[in-house]
A and B are shown apart, each in its own frame.
Chain A
């Protein structure tokens, strides 16, 4: 039978100030945080999944108009952004490695680089959005997307279908950008603590799970880029 209630509390002495009271060991805390982030990312997959679902349905139905919309996006800017994000995933991975090895300066450097790259991404995104605004490709009253379907010079673009493409474009990339802003904010917070030498081989969980989050945001973009920018481009 189990222990009976004892008058005095009997907590373990915790050497590590980062160990929270309700965990028995540091390993348990780390495992919990890790699993928590993976589970959270699963929910994010479902969140974006709904939009991908809508996208897939309309792309199947309105392929030509989606192709036209896609080809009005800049592959150069989008491709650059893809490279930027992949590099930022590299810097994040290096930051985690540095934390595991206790290389304090490297941690901070890599985190700052990651944030810079993230902001570069957001900046380029801003330029793209601006372009769309100027060209009247933003859904709404002033939406205007003249032209014809790729490889079919005699078939005009259906404005409604094109507007659906751009609606999905803005919502999907917009939500992605929102997640990136949150990510940059997270890294700012972690960099602050890294500057105070909080992380090392004994405790680097926040760096690791923030890194996981960032990798996920990167992977979402790796799907978004071809689906939005590269429709029917081979012709």
Chain B
């Protein structure tokens, strides 16, 4: 029955299983509550229809009933809340060793860049069974990255990164939709996510011939002159960037922030926003001088400077497939 008249999309990720379980629970409870109300209404409407010789009985109310039917639904609602919050909590925290794909959305297409350097437009290839983290930004307006088969959705904003992650559990090709109205061809901003068996994925990867994103970033780091101040010894005019990813940074105004992707991005585009303690605010801004793709490469490079010390950052899917994590 569900083949011809499906009630939900195919389940192709770990999240999909959790979400559908909660959804079905919600459907069942709602159906029961609706059925209860409808039955009562219909029953009362018939049973207490006007009849000769019988008058309506005036009933003021009942505190006990009011409390009961406030507390019981409330408890049920709290179950809905807790279960949903639990799923969401996991959805918002990409696993540590996720492989990463940088995404730039624009009117009206999706541009993907894998860590190994492969670029794709509107079609995203991912291997089965690996955690994939999408690091996304928009070049223009707000878009939204939506894959119904994975049950994930995340708005993609201009000016900052937002993140979504998934682990595909079923090979196949699945719809990718833009889910935030973005102008004329909003309904044309669609694509697909292709989940491949790990062997097929490696074969597909191998046919690329492009250089890893972090290497591109390193080249830019040199070309743009970053390397002159951000040296790897203690003598640079700028902080040493080795090992900083996802670690706390003390700023000169006393605040401490975590050096995540958005921090790195902001430091390149608006260096004066957060000055590291002990350094002078002399870094020039690169706003308007580099594209979103180049920015992604630089961020990927800076993150890769943390990999050798055993921290996460910029894991590629090829590296992930070499060390199976099942």
Chain A residues whose C-beta falls within 8 Å of the C-beta of B281 in the assembled complex: 152, 154-155
- Contact pattern, A 133-157, Cβ under 8 Å of B = 1, otherwise 0: 0000000000000000000101110
Min C-beta distance of A103 to chain B, whole Å = 56
From A64, A154, A156, A158, B280 is in contact (CB under 8 Å) with A154
Interface of chain A residues 147 through 173 with chain B (CB within 8 A): 152, 154-156, 158
Residue of A at shortest CB range from B287?
A160
**In this assembly, does B162 line the interface, its C-beta being within 8 Å of a C-beta of chain A?**
no
Chain A residues whose C-beta falls within 8 Å of the C-beta of B282 in the assembled complex: 154
Interface of chain A residues 74 through 121 with chain B (CB within 8 A): none
Chain A residues whose C-beta falls within 8 Å of the C-beta of B270 in the assembled complex: 158
**In this assembly, does B272 line the interface, its C-beta being within 8 Å of a C-beta of chain A?**
yes
Q: How far is the CA of A64 from the CA of B275 in the complex (A)?
A: 13
Q: How far is the CA of A156 from the CA of B270 in the complex (A)?
A: 11
Min C-beta distance of B266 to chain A, whole Å = 11
Most A CB atoms within 10 A — which of B270, B272, B275? B272
Residue of B at shortest CB range from A157?
B272
Residue of A at shortest CB range from B270?
A158
Chain B residues whose C-beta falls within 8 Å of the C-beta of A64 in the assembled complex: 272
Count A-side interface residues using an 8 Å CB cutoff.
Answer: 6
Min C-beta distance of B272 to chain A, whole Å = 5
Min C-beta distance of B191 to chain A, whole Å = 33
- Contact pattern, B 249-287, Cβ under 8 Å of A = 1, otherwise 0: 000000000000000000000101001000011100000
Chain B residues whose C-beta falls within 8 Å of the C-beta of A158 in the assembled complex: 270, 272
Q: How far is the CA of A158 from the CA of B280 in the complex (A)?
A: 16
Q: How far is the CA of A155 from the CA of B275 in the complex (A)?
A: 10
Q: How far is the CA of A4 from the CA of B280 in the complex (A)?
A: 87
Q: How far is the CA of A9 from the CA of B230 in the complex (A)?
A: 91
Residue of A at shortest CB range from B282?
A154
Q: How far is the CA of A158 from the CA of B271 in the complex (A)?
A: 10
Q: How far is the CA of A19 from the CA of B40 in the complex (A)?
A: 53
Chain A residues whose C-beta falls within 8 Å of the C-beta of B272 in the assembled complex: 64, 155-156, 158
Chain B residues whose C-beta falls within 8 Å of the C-beta of A152 in the assembled complex: 281
Q: How far is the CA of A26 from the CA of B282 in the complex (A)?
A: 71
Q: How far is the CA of A152 from the CA of B281 in the complex (A)?
A: 9
Residue of A at shortest CB range from B285?
A158
- Contact pattern, A 158-200, Cβ under 8 Å of B = 1, otherwise 0: 1000000000000000000000000000000000000000000
Q: How far is the CA of A155 from the CA of B251 in the complex (A)?
A: 15
Q: How far is the CA of A155 from the CA of B284 in the complex (A)?
A: 11
Chain B residues whose C-beta falls within 8 Å of the C-beta of A155 in the assembled complex: 272, 275, 281
Residue of B at shortest CB range from A152?
B281
Chain B residues whose C-beta falls within 8 Å of the C-beta of A156 in the assembled complex: 272
Min C-beta distance of A60 to chain B, whole Å = 12
Min C-beta distance of A151 to chain B, whole Å = 11
Min C-beta distance of B195 to chain A, whole Å = 40
Residue of B at shortest CB range from A63?
B253
Chain A residues whose C-beta falls within 8 Å of the C-beta of B275 in the assembled complex: 155
Chain A residues whose C-beta falls within 8 Å of the C-beta of B280 in the assembled complex: 154
Q: How far is the CA of A154 from the CA of B275 in the complex (A)?
A: 12
Min C-beta distance of B209 to chain A, whole Å = 40
Residue of B at shortest CB range from A148?
B281
Min C-beta distance of A198 to chain B, whole Å = 52
- Contact pattern, B 286-313, Cβ under 8 Å of A = 1, otherwise 0: 0000000000000000000000000000
Min C-beta distance of A63 to chain B, whole Å = 9
Min C-beta distance of A171 to chain B, whole Å = 22
Residue of B at shortest CB range from A156?
B272
Residue of B at shortest CB range from A158?
B272
Min C-beta distance of B250 to chain A, whole Å = 17
Q: How far is the CA of A154 from the CA of B270 in the complex (A)?
A: 15
Q: How far is the CA of A158 from the CA of B272 in the complex (A)?
A: 8
Min C-beta distance of B305 to chain A, whole Å = 27
Min C-beta distance of A68 to chain B, whole Å = 12
Min C-beta distance of B46 to chain A, whole Å = 33
Q: How far is the CA of A152 from the CA of B280 in the complex (A)?
A: 10
Min C-beta distance of B254 to chain A, whole Å = 13
Q: How far is the CA of A155 from the CA of B282 in the complex (A)?
A: 8
Q: How far is the CA of A102 from the CA of B17 in the complex (A)?
A: 79
Residue of A at shortest CB range from B281?
A155
Min C-beta distance of A222 to chain B, whole Å = 30
Extra pairs beyond A154-B280, A154-B282, A155-B281 (8, CB < 8 Å): A64-B272, A152-B281, A154-B281, A155-B272, A155-B275, A156-B272, A158-B270, A158-B272
Q: Which 8 A-B pairs have the closest CB atoms?
A: A155-B281, A155-B272, A154-B281, A154-B280, A158-B272, A154-B282, A158-B270, A152-B281
- Chain A: residues with CB nearer than 8 A to chain B? 64, 152, 154-156, 158
11 sampled A-B residue pairs with Cβ under 8 A: A64-B272, A152-B281, A154-B280, A154-B281, A154-B282, A155-B272, A155-B275, A155-B281, A156-B272, A158-B270, A158-B272
